[in-house]
Structure 1
Amino acid sequence: MFKFNFKVEADTSEDPEAVKSAIFSNEGNSEPESENTKNIDWYQAEKVKPIDNIISTLDFYELNAKEMDVGNTKIRHLVAGFLLDDIKAQTHLENLDIRKSEENHSDLIAGVYEGGAKIWECTESLLVYLSEKHEDSFWKDKRVLDLGCGSGLLGIYAMKHGARVDFQDYNKDVLEYITYPNVLLNLDESLTDDGKLQFLDKHTSLYAGDWAHFTQLTKEVEKYDLILTSETIYNIENQQKLLETFAGRLKPDGIILVAAKSHYFGVGGGLEQFSEKIKLENVFRCENVWQADDNLKRGILQLKFQ
């Protein structure tokens, strides 16, 4: 695991896009991996394309989609229960990680499945925050990354307001069978089938795999103005990779918004613990910009480079 101990220093002689990026190296000081993670063979990162029959099944998706109001914006998305039942009914999809999670009755199988089929509470909180915080004009021409995207609702919200959005999730299955259909459900209805595929090809990219591998895979890709992520800090042992990804993929003047619960029982991570880690590393400035008033304690952190 990488030690997050690099310093950020502005140098006018350097390319501004190269300033404030992480140094990825296995040399030097490193943190020991725990028994829970050292034997996990994390998925390598890869760029994911739509499955061949995605357009032909779009009508079926539309009949089983749900509509969500976020401020004045409507977002359509597949219902997870319907989707999982459909996947289980197709015998040729028996090896999908989504299916394995359902058969194991678990939202989390370390190194195999990371809960992407479910829309978590903090995602809805961050959507509301975005709708209340930013005018529609804020998103125009922004480059946005929906990191750990799952259903992709955060990125879809940004996309519907004019941002150029990329989506990343650990599981390729999630991107193929949940994220891509949800993106298609929210495209301009006047587009032809070919037009929708062309839009996907020109205006968005989807990536699967481990965060460290993703950062390396996309190191030549333009960095992001805004990184949105929800419910991704629950595993303390993966937080280092998450912070390295933030540092490697964010523009020098970019913003990160992290939505999470105050504490994740059974795994140890949470907003308070994560905030302290950020402060100790002294790479990002961290501000708590929103907190829930109800019994489910959760909040939103805003990160910027020091």
Structure 2
Amino acid sequence: MAEEGFRFNFGKEEAQQVAEANGEPEYDAPAAEIVYRPTPGVPFFTEDVPIEEGLNLLKGTITSDEAAALMGDTRVASSDLVPGRYEGGFKLWECAADLCKLLLSRYGVAPGQVLTAAELASGLQGKKVLELGCGHGLPGIVALMCGAEVHFQDYNAEVLRRLTAPNVIANMGRLPRSRPRPASRFFSGDWRLVGEHLTGQGYGGHYDVILASETIYSVPAQERMLECIKRLLQPPNGVALIAAKRYYFGVGGGTKSFRQLVERDGIFETSVVAEVEDKASGNVREVILLKFPASIHPYFL
């Protein structure tokens, strides 16, 4: 369900939807850059999302019925996921906040300085960042606030136009006027097609940091994401940070199976760089890091 409050979960209903999809659905949304233009007369309402003490971000509020109307699919009103059609971008998923926290700690940013400092020293300054499956885009927004150029990608163009881009504008508008506003761009489409698009259309093609949260819920999704990361991560020092639950029960995804996939593939090394035990669900949320090994094949240089 698109948000009408603040619900985080990938539960039995969503798992069943994926499991019953008769194998892998067709993911063929073409890759395209989305140029945002506000729609006159359409208000954008937000609410606070606590990230760390001293830092709240804004998220847009989109009702279930509005999400269904935007997608032209009534199933979206009652489902977080319609395989091959809608990838849950109107919902704020739990691990997005975990990834925001990890970015602040990893790149040396004090939470209380993000919205107030006239100048903000950060390890993200000048980096080129891509957030895959961005939805609300909060991790990418943190990177943007910390001085990175950020490209936001979501499967659905409607999500980027109605939610991600307005959310970026709303959050960046809270910064002191003296702070630079790095560039942001928006891309829709399937990960495989987006990877080809960004390396073949004069967009620069490679990223210092790739971010994603709650995108590896099934094995087919993991495979498509890994292929995209392999195409777009900048060697030899680029890193990907993937926030997700250890298991997505019933659909075979999660950080454990994704790490196994990455290790079998042999291109990247993986490690767990953050862990949160969710006692209520009996699950664990993790952020995993992908990086090139110290001895990298010349093909990737």
- Fold match by TM threshold 0.5: yes
1:257 maps to which residue? 241
| Alignment counterpart, residue 298 of structure 1, candidates 267, 282, 285 | 285
Structural mapping, 1:97-176, within 5 Å:
97=71, 100-103=74-77, 105-136=78-109, 137-176=122-161
Structure 2 CA distance, aligned partners of 1:184 and 1:294? 32
Which letter does structure 1 place at the counterpart of 2:98?
S
Change over 3 Å in CA distance of 1:114–1:128 after alignment to 2:
same
> Could you tell me how far 1:180 is from its partner in structure 2?
0.9
Structure 2 CA distance, aligned partners of 1:170 and 1:65? 22
Which letter does structure 2 place at the counterpart of 1:236?
V
Structural mapping, 1:178-197, within 5 Å:
178-188=163-173
Structure 2 CA distance, aligned partners of 1:288 and 1:41? 29
1:195 maps to which residue? none
Structure 1 CA distance, aligned partners of 2:49 and 2:241? 21
> Could you tell me how far 1:113 is from its partner in structure 2?
0.3
Please say if 1:213 is aligned against 2:204.
Answer: no
Please say if 1:65 is aligned against 2:54.
Answer: no
Larger mean CA deviation between 271-280 and 71-80 belongs to: 71-80
How many corresponding residue pairs? Answer: 250
DSSP-derived class of the 1:234 partner: coil
1:40 maps to which residue? 26
1:271 maps to which residue? 255
DSSP-derived class of the 1:288 partner: strand
> Could you tell me how far 1:191 is from its partner in structure 2?
10
Please say if 1:78 is aligned against 2:51.
Answer: no
Structure 2 CA distance, aligned partners of 1:97 and 1:204? 24
1:247 maps to which residue? 230
Unaligned runs of 5+ in 1: 1-33, 193-198
Which letter does structure 1 place at the counterpart of 2:85?
V
Please say if 1:230 is aligned against 2:213.
Answer: yes
Paired residues of 2:273 and 2:287 also in contact (CA < 8 A)? yes
DSSP-derived class of the 2:194 partner: helix
> Could you tell me how far 1:99 is from its partner in structure 2?
5.3
Structure 1 CA distance, aligned partners of 2:214 and 2:175? 34
Change over 3 Å in CA distance of 1:41–1:290 after alignment to 2:
closer
Unaligned runs of 5+ in 2: 1-20, 110-121, 294-301
Larger mean CA deviation between 259-268 and 128-137 belongs to: 128-137
Structure 1 CA distance, aligned partners of 2:240 and 2:39? 35
Q: Give deviations 1:180-238, integer Å, cap 9, x for gaps.
A: 1101101235999xxxxxx7xx8111011100100111104221110110011112112
Task: Give the greater-gyration-radius structure (CA).
Answer: 1
| Alignment counterpart, residue 50 of structure 1, candidates 36, 50, 57 | 36
Paired residues of 1:147 and 1:228 also in contact (CA < 8 A)? yes
Which letter does structure 1 place at the counterpart of 2:28?
W
The percentage of counterpart residues that share the same residue type is 33
Paired residues of 2:60 and 2:163 also in contact (CA < 8 A)? yes
Paired residues of 1:290 and 1:299 also in contact (CA < 8 A)? yes
